[in-house]
Every structure is written in structure tokens, then in C-alpha cells.
Structure 1
Amino acid sequence: MDWEPGNDVGNIASLQRGAANFMGYCSGCHSLKYKRYSRVAKDLNIPEEQMEKLLLLPGAKKGDYIITPMSKADGEAWFGKAPPDLSLITRAKGSDHVYQFLKTFYVDSKSANGTNNLALPNTAMPFVLSALQGVQEAKFKTVEKVVDGETVTEQHWDSFELASPGQFSPEEYDGFVRDTVNFLEYVGEPVKAERESLGVWVILFLLVFTGFAYLLKQEYWKDVK
């Protein structure tokens, strides 16, 4: 299965939706300690009134960094470890990993919180988006392989089956996840869209320069030949 989210950090509407998704479902546990509310609003063309209404956590000011209200001690007590800051998660793990992580929670009665994850087995994070995606069961198949001359069997993931639907259709949930991952990719590298846009112009300049250089070479060497 393809786990590439196909992000476009130049898509401002997607980034705005992703910012709202993060603040609504992730900021209760996760911080973006390198990002200020005001910078997000400026970069994503979010009016100040909307920023204060939709993005600011209770008690936060627009110039503050985005810090979760959950303390490290509470996180460790509730989940066994403090939830990580997500400022650089897509740069550290890759946006495909984050996309897969948010798409592959499944029911697991052996897990402490009742769920498991295909991208990060035995994750301490409960599936906070189950109301949106629904509850899915993982189907595994038995695969034989030879190790040191002996045949052993392993359980490999095969597919997911939706056991209980959520508020979103599969397509809607996929869009939700893509927007959220897109926003996190912007957070990790705010100048990516500008860099990619500039790169196009640099390539065009080099192509034009190469053409002129070739013509100039031909002019210089025509008499020598």
C-alpha cells in the first residue's frame, strides 16, 4: 500500500485546515515549541480574529509559542511517557511515516489502551481520532520464511476491515489526515514552498544561461573551424 500523503505545502487552504485539525485534536497533548501562533497566522493568511477564535489555546497570547497545557509529569503518568513535541516530526520520521501512523490504528485486546498501530507497534498513544475514522480491525496472514536452515512462520499485515464507522467517510478521513500531515510538514520546514518555487526559477535561469553559453561558444569557435 502506498503511504505517501502527496503533500503540497503551497496549498494554503490545506494548511489552514491542517492547523485547525492540529489545534482541535493534537494540541491537548503535543506542542509545537518552535512555532508561534502569530507566525502560523501570518504564513497561512489567517486573520487575527480567526486566529484568536480557532487557534489560541486557553490563556495563550498570539505571540506565544504553541505549548500544550499538559505537563510532562501528567503525560508520563497517563501514557507511560510524555507525548513528544511535533515541531520536527516530519523531518525526523518523514511525512509518509506520520501519514501511515494516523491511518493504521487498529483494535488490539492485548494492548494496554485497546489499540495498536501498524507504523509504530505498541505505541503509548491512544487513538484519539477513532470518532472520526471509526474502529478498524487488522487482518494478518501467515508467511513462511527460512532462517538458518529452518522454516519459521510470521504474521504479516494484510488489510484493514472497518468494524465500526466513524463520523467521516474513508475519503473524508484521508483528507483530514493529509491536511494535518501537510501542516506538520510546513511547521517542520516553513520555507519549503518558497524554496521549491525559487528552485523552478533557478532551473529556468540555468537552462537559458546554458543556451546563451552554447551560442556564445559557437560564435567564438566558428572562425577556428
Structure 2
Amino acid sequence: MRELKILAVVVALTLITYWGVEPFAHSQMHPHVEAPDYEFKDVDGLNGLKGNADNGAILVQSNCTACHGIEKAGFPAVMDNASSAAAYGVVPPDLSTAGKLYNADYIAAFVKNPAKASKVEHKYVDGKVHPMPGYDWMQPQEIADIVAYLQSIAPKEMTNKEVFTNACQRCHSIKYGDMKGGTMQSFTPDANIKAYMGKNPPDLSQFIRSRGHQYLHEFVNNPQKHLEGTAMPRVGLTEEAETQVIAYLEEVGDSKKAEREELGPKFLIYLVIFAIFAWLWKSKQWREMH
């Protein structure tokens, strides 16, 4: 009985210490930030306008295809990745999937003012300008038409890997996705992306383990929440697309998660059974000694 009392005291002190220290440590290492805003209410978006895809097709072909490829519509990229990176600092995205991946209001705001919509205005001072010019001189209806066209050509379904490739791989590698083939290397060469961003963006192979789901959702939706002044832009993904990106990070970086979680309860049951047998054995030995 004495041993049980000692154990109870130790457990109580341990729990008191844990619950007294852990919340403080968590608040310092993971400060609270606002929940992700998947409606992008802070941007100057469509403001309720409905676009005409046919008119948008003409506008996109006239204004966008000089820099952006649109494979779905038969407009391949004018330059290869290396040449594009050298010219713009980062490889411009193919727009075939933009209407699927990105929030419509975010697309509209980005077309008007890319640096403001992506929250990287702090990068472009002292004469520096965003590689994509703003089209705020366009009529609001024209921008709505562009968004409507991008949505009209976007695929209905995409795999997690396809979403990651289109949304993230221009800047980020994820080498564990294909270590031998090397197909998951970032599209923009290291030297160009380092000059454009200030440093090489991290390989994302293990970010699901080091950061966790909640942090990644908050960060992708608005990097400035966690790293004020970071060069990474707000990506503008829809909630569905962002979830697919993080699901792919989990497929690559934590592929054994399901097996690990399945094993956990079985191991705990084993420990309980072992503890019962240990207690019974101890009781028997003490009875014989006294």
C-alpha cells in the first residue's frame, strides 16, 4: 500500500508540473494566430461580378500567354523553365489549373495587384517591382471574365500530387516524392529562386512531421501570420486544394501514419495486461515475505 501512495504522489506531481509548464511552452513556440480565411475577405476581388468565359479567353490570350503557358488550351510556355527563371526570377505557372486551385476572389485581386494580394509588398521597395505587372487598369468586368475563363478550362478533379506540382513545385522540391527519378525537384533552378526569394525555399519532404497539419494550413493560407516579413507569398489556394497539398505532404513524409496509429491501441492494451501481471506477481511475492 505504501508503494501505491508513493506512486500516486509521483504521478500527481508529474501531472501538475506538465500541465503547468506545457501550455506556457506551447504558447511561446506556437503562438495563437487567426484561423485560415478561405474566402479571402481582405482582398479586392470580384465584388460579386460574374464573368464571361468567351471574353476572358480573348483577354487571357492577349495579356497572359506571353509569360504563362496554358497547355489545356493549346498554348505551351514560350520559354523553358531555365529561361523563364532567368527572366522572371521564378518560373511562371501554367494557368491550365489556376481556376481549380485558387480562390476566385484571390485570382481577381492577384491580377489587379500581385504583390498586394500575395502580401509581399515589403519585398518590392526602392524601385523593385513584382515580376508580374498589375492589371488594375483593366475594367472590373474584364478581370471577372478572365477568372471565368480560367475556371472554365480547369480540370474537375486533380490528384494530391498534381495539386502539389501545380501549386508548390515552382519553388519547392520534395525529393522523397521521387528520390531516384528526381522529378520532384523544384522547377526554378536553385540559383534563380535564391536570388528571387533571398534564400532557397526548403525541401518539403518532412514538413508534415516538423510542422504539423494546423501550422501548414495557417502558413500556406497566410505565411505572414507565422513569419512576419517572409518572402513566401500567400498562395491563395481554395480549402480543398490546400487540403490536398497537405495530404500529399503526408503521403510522402508520413506514409506509415495509419499503421502507427493502428499499432498504438494494441501496444497500450499490452502494457495494461503486462502491468496487471506485474502487480499480481508483486502481490504474491510480498504476501510470502510477510
TM-score, structure 2 as length reference: 0.38
Name the larger-Rg structure.
Answer: 2
Give the number of the structure with larger relative contact order, counting CA–CA contacts within 8 Å between residues 6 or more apart: 1
Structure with greater helix percent: 2
